[in-house]
Amino acid sequence: MSNRKVYLYGGSGHGKVIKDIAKNSNINVVAFVDDNPKSSTLLNVPILKTSELEDIAVKEFIISIGSNKIRKMISEKLTKIGDAIVDPSAQISDFVTIEKGTVVMPSVVINSDTNIGAHVILNTGAIIEHDCKIGDFAHISPNATITGGVSIGEGTHIGAGAIVIPGIKIGKWVTVGAGAVIINDIPDYTTVVGNPGKIIKHKEKNG
């Protein structure tokens, strides 16, 4: 039985899923932390404001917020980020590295020699093949398939059911639409949709 205790920063639907994964992994969620709570509890766990926390610097946090940009912003305010939370149903090679703050949801597959950055969301049923690199604050949505040797930059969101063919490099803060098929490299700060994927928008760096 694990004695690990964590606080989840963000009382949202995404937080509900992480709470369940923590339970599956015998990790105790002490409280959600949210400065704009919609209720006083979530899944029978108290929701606290940051002003109500004592010794915040020594508490272990996982950021339970779906927005990649907000996760990055919050991460800069917290002192102690917990190790990744991984659902027991995930299939992960022994030759994979996963950085702090990342959440691996049910039925995810991560194959050999892949590196997963910090504060990443690997959502339900996502497949990450061998020799991939997923940057910090990225989100790989449910049932997306990232094939071998793919590089995905910081803050990029891969939509549900999207497919990225082998060896592709996707830049940082890119949005790949649901169901897209990516067959060419994608530059930073763009939005890509369709099969084959086409750039439909160039985003501002702070947008």
The residue whose two tokens read 């649901």 is 178
* Cβ neighbours of residue 82 closer than 8 Å, sequence gap 6 or more: 4, 6, 60, 61, 62, 100, 101
DSSP codes, the chain: ----EEEEE--SHHHHHHHHHHHHTT-EEEEEE-SS-SSSEETTEEEE-GGG-SSGGGS-EEE--S-HHHHHHHHTT-S-BPPPEE-TT-EE-TTEEE-TT-EE-TT-EE-SSEEE-TT-EE-TT-EE-TT-EE-TT-EE-TT-EE-TT-EE-TT-EEPTT-EE-TT-EE-TT-EE-TT-EE-S-B-SSEEEETTTTEEEEE--TT-
Distance CA 178, CA 163 (A): 9
Tell whether domain 85-202 is in CATH 3.30.470.20: no
Which residue numbers are catalytic? 130
Query: CATH number of the domain at 5-75, please?
Result: 3.40.50.20
Cβ–Cβ under 8 Å, residues 186 and 192: yes
What is the model's pLDDT at position 123? 98
pLDDT in tens, the chain (207 residues): 468 999 999 998 999 999 999 999 999 999 999 998 888 999 999 999 998 888 887 899 999 999 999 999 999 999 899 999 999 999 999 999 999 999 999 999 999 999 999 999 999 999 999 999 999 999 999 999 999 999 999 999 999 999 999 999 999 999 999 999 999 999 999 999 999 999 999 987 755
Nearest to 17 by CA among 146, 117, 90, 104: 104
Cβ–Cβ under 8 Å, residues 13 and 32: no
Phi/psi region, residue 3 (left: phi>0; alpha: psi -120 to 50; beta: rest), is alpha
What is the model's pLDDT at position 204? 78
Phi/psi region, residue 205 (left: phi>0; alpha: psi -120 to 50; beta: rest), is alpha
What is the model's pLDDT at position 74? 95
What is the model's pLDDT at position 55? 83
Task: Give tens-digit pLDDT for 28-70.
Answer: 999 999 998 888 999 999 999 998 888 887 899 999 999 999 9
What is the model's pLDDT at position 165? 98
What is the model's pLDDT at position 206? 58
What is the model's pLDDT at position 37? 87
What is the model's pLDDT at position 38? 86
Spans of all domains in the chain = 5-75, 85-202
